[in-house]
């Protein structure tokens, strides 16, 4: 089976490639391998004889206009090209809570992506994952105020190891399209402020977390359960404290 992974050189994509290439023909498609979904460069050739496409790509900018342009343009190029090529299953990685976070430009763009997938005529599975363990540092960076404090909500979050996400995506590659959203998450639920405190402690950063129920997350105010899956079909097995205890993960 030929499988094309859009964003195949990134955090998730590279892991999915490594799993699937043992048994399948796998194309790691990204601009640095000559496949660009924004310009269309290399797209038709990469999709030739492909059975499955897995899209784990992400925008290089999270600002409102660039991120909308990325997901809209990318999918307007990719999905019709898949239909012409006879692709039988489009798998896209999205985020738990997308439909509840529409105050955020990023999540508005992800919603547009999901709508385009549903309207494309290509059989699909949309995977809503919770935040990856690897994103903790990014959350700190975007939540640190001018006074140097990390201001976060006490809403719940159920983070997952990227390796567990990759394993799930690889598993469903050979399954029938669900033609709906499948939710996945990690094995443990934390309040987001407490999770980031664990990250700061483990990485020995000199930062203070301040709990603020109105602290925005990617530009949107969180309700208590926005970032947790409602009906998960898969929960990862990797626990956060065992993961962050490994030196290579403490960045």
**Tens digit of pLDDT for each residue in 167-206?**
999 999 999 999 999 999 999 999 999 999 999 999 999 9
pLDDT for 251 beyond 90: no
Domain residues for 186? 2-249
pLDDT for 6 beyond 80: yes
Query: 60 or 12: whose pLDDT is higher?
Result: 12
**Tens digit of pLDDT for each residue in 195-234?**
999 999 999 999 999 999 999 999 999 999 999 999 999 9
Query: What one-character-per-residue DSSP string does the chain give?
Result: -EEEEETTTSHHHHHHHHHHTTTSEEEEESGGGT--TTT-TTHHHHHTT-SEEEE----S--SHHHHHHHHHHHHHHHHHHHHHHT--EEEEEEETTGGG-TTSHHHHHHHHHHHHHHHSSS-EEEEEE--BGGGHHHHHHHHB-TTSEEEE---EE--B-HHHHHHHHHHHTTSPP-SSEEEEE-S--EEHHHHHHHHHHHHT---EEEE-TT-EETTEEPPTTTBS-SSEEEE----HHHHHTSGGG--
**What does the mean pLDDT of the chain come to?**
96
CATH code of residue 63: 3.40.50.720
Number of independent structural domains in the chain: 1
């Amino acid at each position: 089976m030929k499988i094309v992974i859009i964003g195949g050189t990134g955090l998730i994509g590279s892991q999915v490639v490594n799993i699937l290439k043992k048994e399948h023909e796998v194309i790691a498609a990204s601009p640095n391998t000559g496949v660009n979904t924004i310009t269309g460069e290399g797209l038709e050739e990469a999709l030739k004889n492909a059975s499955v496409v897995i899209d784990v790509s992400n925008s290089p900018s999270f600002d409102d206009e660039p991120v909308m342009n990325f997901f809209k343009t990318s999918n307007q190029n990719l999905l019709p090209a898949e239909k012409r090529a006879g692709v039988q299953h489009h798998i896209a990685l999205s985020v738990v809570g997308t439909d509840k976070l529409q105050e955020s430009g990023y999540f508005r763009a992800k919603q547009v992506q999901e709508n385009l997938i549903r309207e494309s005529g290509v059989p699909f599975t949309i995977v809503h994952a919770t935040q990856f363990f690897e994103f903790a540092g990014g959350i700190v960076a975007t939540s640190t105020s001018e006074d140097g404090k990390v201001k976060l909500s006490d809403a719940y979050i159920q983070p997952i190891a990227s390796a567990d996400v990759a394993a799930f995506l690889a598993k469903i590659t050979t399954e029938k399209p669900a033609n709906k959203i499948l939710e996945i998450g990690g094995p443990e639920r934390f309040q987001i402020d407490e999770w980031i405190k664990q990250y700061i402690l483990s990485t020995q950063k000199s930062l203070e977390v301040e709990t603020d129920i109105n602290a925005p997350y990617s530009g949107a105010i969180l309700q208590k359960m926005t970032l947790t899956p409602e009906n998960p079909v898969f929960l990862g097995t990797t626990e956060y404290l065992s993961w962050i205890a490994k030196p290579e993960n403490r960045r």
